[in-house]
Amino acid sequence: MGQCWIDNKTVIITGASAGIGKGVAEALIKKHNCKVIGIARSKEKTEKFVEELGDYAKNFSYKLFDVSSKENWFEFAEYLKENDIHPDVLINNAGILPKFNKTQNYSIEEIESVMNINFYSAVYSINALLPMLLESSTPAVINVASSAALMSLAGTSTYSASKGALKSFTESLREELRGKCYVTVICPGFTKTDIFRNQENTGKGEKMINAISTDCDRMVNMIVNGIENKKELMVFGFDAQFMKIFGRITPVTVGRLFSAVMKASKLPLFDNVFKD
Query: What is the helix (H) or strand (E) element at residue 11, kind and residue range?
Result: strand 10-14
- Does the residue 91 lie in any domain? yes
Question: What would the mean pLDDT of 32-56 be, rounded to a whole number?
Answer: 97
- Does the residue 3 lie in any domain? no
- Does the residue 1 lie in any domain? no
String of DSSP letters for 30-85: HHH--EEEEEES-HHHHHHHHHHHGGGGGGEEEEE--TT-HHHHHHHHHHHHHTT-
Average pLDDT, the chain: 92
- Does the residue 54 lie in any domain? yes
Task: Tell me the pTM.
Answer: 0.93
Please answer whether residues 133 and 88 qualify as being in contact, where contact means their C-beta atoms are separated by less than 8 angstroms: yes
Q: How many structural domains does the chain have? A: 1
pLDDT (0 to 100) of residue 35: 98
- Does the residue 4 lie in any domain? no
State which residues form the domain around 182. Answer: 10-274
Local confidence band at 202 (pLDDT 50, 70, 90 cut-offs): very low
- Does the residue 205 lie in any domain? yes
